[in-house]
A = this chain, B = another copy of it.
Amino acid sequence: MSVTAPQGFRAAGVAAGIKSGGARDLAIVINDGPSRAAAGVFTRNRVKAAPVLWSAQVLSGGRVRAVVLNSGGANACTGPLGFQDTHATAEKTAEVLGDSAAEIAVCSTGLIGERLPMDALLAGIDTAAAQLSRDGGLAAADAIRTTDTVSKISFRRGEGGYMVGGMAKGAGMLAPALATMLCVITTDADVSAEDLDVVLRDATAVTFDRLDTDGCMSTNDTVLLLASGASGVRPDLAEFGKVVTAVCADLARQLLVDAEGATKAIAIEVVGAASERDAVTVGRAVARSNLLKCAIHGEDPNWGRVVSAVGTTDAAFEPERLNVAINGIWICRGGAAGDDRSKADLRPRDVTITVDLSAGSHSATVHTTDLTAAYVHENSAYSS
């Protein structure tokens, strides 16, 4: 299923030898049409990996025949030769498919600053192309994993019978954990590239963009939406947007619970904000507090660390009107101690921190995880 749930798509995932250890590390997703409409969103990091620079050019044309994805190397900060490697990857795939490299998107994930083993990668494209199938979605989702402990896939059926499917790896869009978030979403709905672009930007803004596991922004983040039109269904755009958003939200949730070292899935729910922007700003500030993330790891309802994070923002609020609930217990009321903090039960994996700014009627939720010794361990030993 995953990206092959919609009609018109085939996929494969193979072990090309890019990673040491023999795990799958190369995936191809191909759109057999009849449409090739596509849209993409990319990292806002100013240091962009070669595949991001390449794929942004491809997507500016609004058409994608295939996506080639590799784990085992980010191909970021690799200079002009790294860009040539991405170009060669697209050319090779185009050659195998008998198509144009200008419609081949490329995604990479792994360590920054090292060239990819191109002999292995190009040979892997031959292998993967030979295995492309309607059943290949799971293997493709497996091949893009780095520190992900499980594959992330999702699909939903829309009104009229069209499908939306997706796969993802990593944790976070604007602020992912280690390495990179990559996501490919497919649909057999018949939607123009322009409409796909609007739908994808709206969907990512309220899903991946509100996932903030460690405040770091990758050089490689890419989310692609490809439409084959094979179902013949032309969906209502609002309804289509809801389905795509649901798939993105499902994948975002899977990224969150698999984030490195995490033992808690924390939702920072900001209400009573003067604007949605204020709500997101506050949610992100709270989600980035290492002190709070440690406290939640220790199951300590330390609302002072919530309030002090809120105070670093420029959002509209008065300190003496702030209310904070942890898992439904309003332990801070009017900027001071409220209900008995011992009533806040932090034992469940899911933790909801509600911040009421008492400044308006807007709201937003940002998702993060706790900060653990396992996160430190995993990220102390990545490249060495």
Contact B77 A382 (CB under 8 A): no
Tell me the bound Cα distance from A236 to B209 in angstroms. 53
For residues 359 through 383 of chain A, which have their beta carbon under 8 Å from a beta carbon of chain B?
Answer: 371-373, 375-383
Contact A217 B377 (CB under 8 A): no
User: Is A10 engaged at the interface, CB distance under 8 Å to the other chain?
Assistant: no
Tell me the bound Cα distance from A214 to B382 in angstroms. 21
Contact A305 B112 (CB under 8 A): yes
Whether A304 contacts B77 in the complex (CB less than 8 A), given A48-B319, A312-B45, A373-B377, comes out as yes
User: For A298, what are the chain B residues with a Cβ–Cβ distance below 8 Å?
Assistant: 379-382, 384
Tell me the bound Cα distance from A372 to B378 in angstroms. 11
Tell me the bound Cα distance from A312 to B114 in angstroms. 21
Tell me the bound Cα distance from A217 to B286 in angstroms. 12
User: Is A294 engaged at the interface, CB distance under 8 Å to the other chain?
Assistant: yes
Contact A332 B380 (CB under 8 A): no
Contact A304 B112 (CB under 8 A): yes
Q: Which residue of B lies closest to A380 (CB)?
A: B298
Contact A113 B303 (CB under 8 A): yes
User: Is A232 engaged at the interface, CB distance under 8 Å to the other chain?
Assistant: no
Tell me the bound Cα distance from A384 to B297 in angstroms. 12
User: Is A345 engaged at the interface, CB distance under 8 Å to the other chain?
Assistant: no
Tell me which of A82, A335, A376, A384 has the highest count of chain B C-beta atoms within 10 A of its own C-beta: A376
User: Is A288 engaged at the interface, CB distance under 8 Å to the other chain?
Assistant: yes
Tell me the bound Cα distance from A294 to B381 in angstroms. 8
A358 shortest CB reach to chain B, Å: 14
Tell me the bound Cα distance from A303 to B47 in angstroms. 13
Contact B46 A302 (CB under 8 A): no
Tell me the bound Cα distance from A305 to B384 in angstroms. 14
User: Is A79 engaged at the interface, CB distance under 8 Å to the other chain?
Assistant: yes
Contact A290 B379 (CB under 8 A): yes
Contact B294 A379 (CB under 8 A): yes
A272 shortest CB reach to chain B, Å: 16
User: Is A74 engaged at the interface, CB distance under 8 Å to the other chain?
Assistant: yes
User: Is A274 engaged at the interface, CB distance under 8 Å to the other chain?
Assistant: no
Per-position binary interface string of chain A over residues 306-338, scored 1 when its CB falls under 8 Å from any chain B CB and 0 otherwise:
011111110001011010000000001011110
Interface pairs (14), CB distance under 8 Å: A45-B311, A48-B311, A79-B334, A113-B332, A216-B308, A218-B308, A290-B371, A290-B379, A294-B379, A295-B379, A297-B380, A298-B382, A302-B382, A375-B376
